[in-house]
Every structure is written in C-alpha cells, then in structure tokens.
Structure 1
Amino acid sequence: MITIKSAREIEAMDRAGDFLASIHIGLRDLIKPGLDLWEVEEYVRRRCKEENVLPLQIGVDGQVMDYPYATCCGLNDEVAHAFPRHYILQDGDLLKVDMVLSEPLDKAVLDVSKLDFDNVSAMKQHTQSYSGGLADSCWAYEVGQVSDEVKNLMQVTKECLYIGIEKAVVGNRIGDIGAAIQEHAEKQGYGVVRDLVGHGVGPTMHEEPMVPHYGKAGRGLRLREGMVLTIEPMINTGTWEIDTDMETGWAHKTIDGGLSCQYEHQFVITKGGPIILTSQGEEGTY
C-alpha cells in the first residue's frame, strides 16, 4: 500500500536524514588508503551509540540469514548489500557505503548505548518494531588516487541520481524517473542494474512504490505530493546483470567483473518540487 506522509512523519524522517548525512560527511575524512574497512562499520556503530540512533539494517530478513551489520560496504565490482569486513583499503578502490538509520531517540524510551549490536536476534526485536522517522542513503567514495574509469563512473552515477530526482515531481510518473536515468547512463556506455530498485520509505525502510532506474517515460504510477521515495541508481561499467552470493544471500556483484557505483538520496515530493531529506549540503558540490 502506498501512503502519503504527514508533516509529522516527514519532520521525523528529516531529523533522521540530517544524522545520516552527518555520518557520510564524517566518512569523507575517514576513508583513505590503509584503513581497515571494518573501521567504517565501527565508526557508524560508535556514532549511533553516542547519539542514540538505531542502525535499522541489523536484523533485516534475508533468504539465508538476517542482515547482521549497520552498514553495507561494497568494493569495486560489488553492487549492493556487501558485508563490512577486515580488508585494508587500497589506493584506487571504489567504495560504496549504504545504511538505514532512525532519528535520534529519547533515551528514556530506549538507550541504544546499552544494546549489543552483535546480537542480531535481540537487535531485530528493536529494529523490526521501530516505527519512527528513518533515513536511507548510500554514497560512493574514491580511495586515494583513482583511475579515470572510476572518476567517470562516479560522475555519471551522481548525475543519474540528480536527473532522477529532478523528474520526481507532482504529476509525473514512476517511468519518467527510470527513463531519464537509463537514457543518461546508456548514452555513456554504462549498464543500469535492474534487479535492485529505489522504493518508498516509512513507516518501514522498504515500502511501495518500487522505483526502477530504467523504464519508459509516461508509464507507471503517477507521483503525488507527500510521497517519500529513494532514488539509488546502481550503474556498471559493463553489463547491467548481477550475481548474488548464495552463501549469505546478500552481496551482489557485477556478473562480468566490471565496476559498479551507487548514490542514493531519500526525498519528499512537494508542490514546489522534491526536497532531499538526506542532503549533505549544497547538492552536487561534494
């Protein structure tokens, strides 16, 4: 069911978005060659405990296992949902960090600092029952000096994000978003992932409608004021096709070993146009 969000719900998601954006801003200085990738997960966990925020990805239902971490950390050919792990970042790596976080909570209701994030079943009781404001955003980071191939892929993927958001206006259709993204990416010779899409947000992290990053203009659901959506194009240097790690059921990779990049914002559709709830500052300058 598609729900139109109230002003109260949007304000709560805006608070969550402000906190999540501050995490991505902090990662800009943290991510560099020689860093153990696990420190990204530790950084997010520490900030959540300090500011009483629930990492809502912990405990998400999976086909093989529930998701056990606060972040998804995808390297190079990893498309989405890859686990954070002990890996020393190398000069030239392309890293994507995705997360879903609550708004800062009242400690009298729940003291996040006392939760054991490694106890997935116990965490799931909190994350799956949560019904407040939440935010979802992925950002890509270049590690040290990267190749022109990486730079160009990152630039086009970011352009796809904002081109899609520009199409998310009252009266347009879902297909207008995907068609604009697909046209821009494919003109540059890139593949647009089709198995993973954007979505509605609130009261849970994945709501209707689904928002594909490909499609035909003028097709699909008509967009309305008060919808809160994510657009999160995953753009590959080669084919759009991906494979899944069936041992865990989570990590996706490009099927041909090509690079993949992703940027994601969460936003609300208003009469005056889309308003980004996970903004990190002046859009397009970072």
Structure 2
Amino acid sequence: MKTQRNSRCWCGSGKKYKQCHEKWDDRYNILKLEGHTMPARSLIKSPEDLRLIRKAAAINNGVLDLVAERIHAGMTTEDINTLVHNYTVEHGGIPAPLNYEGFPKSVCTSLNDEVCHGIPSKDVVLRDGDIINVDVTTIYKGHYADASRMFLIGAVSEEARRLVDVTKECLQIGIDAIKPWGHVGDIGAAIMEHAHKNGYTVVRDFAGHGVGNGFHEDPIVPHVGMRGTGMVLAPGMVITVEPMINAGGWELFIDEDNGWTAYTCDGSLSAQWEHTIYIGEHGVEIIAY
C-alpha cells in the first residue's frame, strides 16, 4: 500500500513522508523499473541507527589511535589484542571479532604476507621492517563500526612502504567513486584501475560489505568490478571499503591449522586499509577510519 504523504516516514525519522523519503522513493522506483539491483529498505539506516553507529565508530577510532601510539618492534600481536580488548570494553563497546563464528580474539592482526584474519598470538613478535594490518570492529548497543589501518614497524623497505601507500590511495579512490544512486561496481573499477596501474593485484576472495545494524550486511562490495554494475548505492546505506592489495599475484590460501588466516600464495606482501562509509543525499561521510 502506498505511504500517505502526511504519514510518518517509514525510515524512522519521525518526519512526514512528504518531507522525508517521498522523493527518495520516486527515484528508487524509477531505477527499479529500469532493472537496476536495488537495496532492501532494511539497509537504509534510521537517524537512531546512525547515532549508534557513530558511537561505535568513536570507540573504534579511539582503539586504532591507541594502537598507533603504542605499536612498536618487540611487542607481540597478543599485546595488540589486549590493548584493543581493554579499550573497547572500558569505553562501553564489545569487540565484534571475539567468538564471531569461532574467531578466538578481539582483533585481526595480519602481518607481511598475511592478507587478512591474522590471529593475535604471544608467539608473534613485531620486528623491524614488518608491515601489519590491525582490523578492528566495535559493537555499541547492537550497532557496528569497522575499520583497519596499516602500521610500519621500524625501518621498512621502500617496496613495503610503497605498497602500503598505494593501498591507501586505492581506498581513497574507491571512496571518491561512491556517488548517491551510483553502483557498487563503480568502487571496484576505480580501485582495480589504480592498483593495476601501479603494478599490483587486487584480492578477489574477500570484499567490503554493508555494516551498521549487523557485522556483515548486504551489499557485498568487491574491489574489482565494472562501472554501472551491481547494487545501487542509495542514500542512507552504510558500507565498508577495504581493498586488499598484493605486491605479487592476487591468489591466496587459508591456513589449514587455524581455519582463518589468509596468506598470499606466492609469499608476496599484502596490505589493506578499511573505512566505514555513510552514503548521504549529497555525498559520503567517513564514519570509522
């Protein structure tokens, strides 16, 4: 049944429909009739959802700032896990990775040729020249924010530094490609072009995703793609962009012993940066970084 113009909007804003999502629905329905893949309305965040996602992001950003202050050669990845866990809990959050589908720690720490999902350990000591991705996801009152950063330990090779820098550029270029009512494929196309131009490959087995009311929501956000394809990015959605870029081939394998950690097949270095992005009516907002 069609929403009445003076009824409360379906989005939860408390505003009248004609003052809130009536024009949004008009645009949505036209694109749907044209055959585009459209997001479910459940993926559109309410003002209260956004308030709580931003609270989760504030904790998440604080965690990564703390890691940036403390990380150094000689500490273990278990030390990083302790920092992340304690800060998150002390600030009213819950570390989302802990016990997620059996993951045993509160953060992912992926070192050198580890692509993602590295498991912190007291036996893994950071050494001069390492590069490491620290991937943090925080739950606050049932809402999620997700981000990761790369850290350079001591005197890092020029090869490693360039990979980390170009991967961050890929992240920003992917974010710049997001336009309200654009497509998911726009993001992957931009990232892929920049990575390949610089002589790197893009991991295809993992992707970004919707986030906010759950850890992983629709849509899947591949970091390779074609412009104008995939789900429409409607205003009100929250997604992650998190390219994983390899110095060698894009192929990977999963550690058979722990069932989680992904490694490059050729032993080449891998880097990743991740932000949580809110798609608004007139542009995007980086919420978690």
Q: Counterpart in 2 of 1:56? A: 96
Write the distance in 2 (CA, Å) between the matches of 1:261 and 1:44: 20
CA shift for structure 1 position 55: 0.8
- 1:263-282 aligned within 5 A: 263-279=273-289
Write the distance in 1 (CA, Å) between the matches of 2:46 and 2:172: 25
Q: Counterpart in 1 of 2:242? A: 232
Amino acid at match of 1:58: L
In structure 1, which of residues 242, 246, 249 is the aligned counterpart of residue 256 of structure 2? 246
- 1:117-266 aligned within 5 A: 132-266=142-276
Write the distance in 2 (CA, Å) between the matches of 1:202 and 1:14: 9
Write the distance in 2 (CA, Å) between the matches of 1:46 and 1:266: 22
The TM-score, its normalising length taken from structure 2, stands at 0.84
1:26 aligns with 2:66: yes
CA RMSD of aligned residues (A): 1.1
Write the distance in 2 (CA, Å) between the matches of 1:141 and 1:149: 14
Write the distance in 2 (CA, Å) between the matches of 1:222 and 1:102: 26
Report 1 or 2 for greater relative contact order, CA contacts < 8 Å, sequence distance ≥ 6: 1
The TM-score, its normalising length taken from structure 1, stands at 0.84
Write the distance in 2 (CA, Å) between the matches of 1:202 and 1:75: 27
Write the distance in 1 (CA, Å) between the matches of 2:92 and 2:49: 19
Write the distance in 2 (CA, Å) between the matches of 1:205 and 1:36: 27
Gapped runs of 5+ residues in structure 2?
1-38
Deviations 1:230-264 (A, max 9, x none): 00000000001111012221000000000000000
CA shift for structure 1 position 7: 1.1
CA shift for structure 1 position 146: 0.5
Structure whose alpha-carbon radius of gyration is higher: 2
1:98 aligns with 2:138: no
Aligned-partner SS, 2:159: helix
CA shift for structure 1 position 187: 0.5
Amino acid at match of 2:44: I
Question: Do 2:60 and 2:88's aligned partners in 1 also have CA atoms closer than 8 Å?
Answer: no
Write the distance in 1 (CA, Å) between the matches of 2:127 and 2:283: 40
Amino acid at match of 2:210: G
Write the distance in 2 (CA, Å) between the matches of 1:100 and 1:258: 26
Aligned-partner SS, 1:16: helix
Write the distance in 2 (CA, Å) between the matches of 1:29 and 1:266: 22
Question: How much identity, in percent, do the aligned residues show?
Answer: 40
Q: Counterpart in 2 of 1:44? A: 84
CA shift for structure 1 position 202: 2.7
Write the distance in 1 (CA, Å) between the matches of 2:211 and 2:174: 17
Q: Counterpart in 2 of 1:76? A: 112
**Could you list the runs of 4 or more consecutive aligned residues of structure 1 that deviate by over 6 angstroms after TM superposition?**
none
Aligned-partner SS, 2:69: helix
Write the distance in 1 (CA, Å) between the matches of 2:269 and 2:196: 15
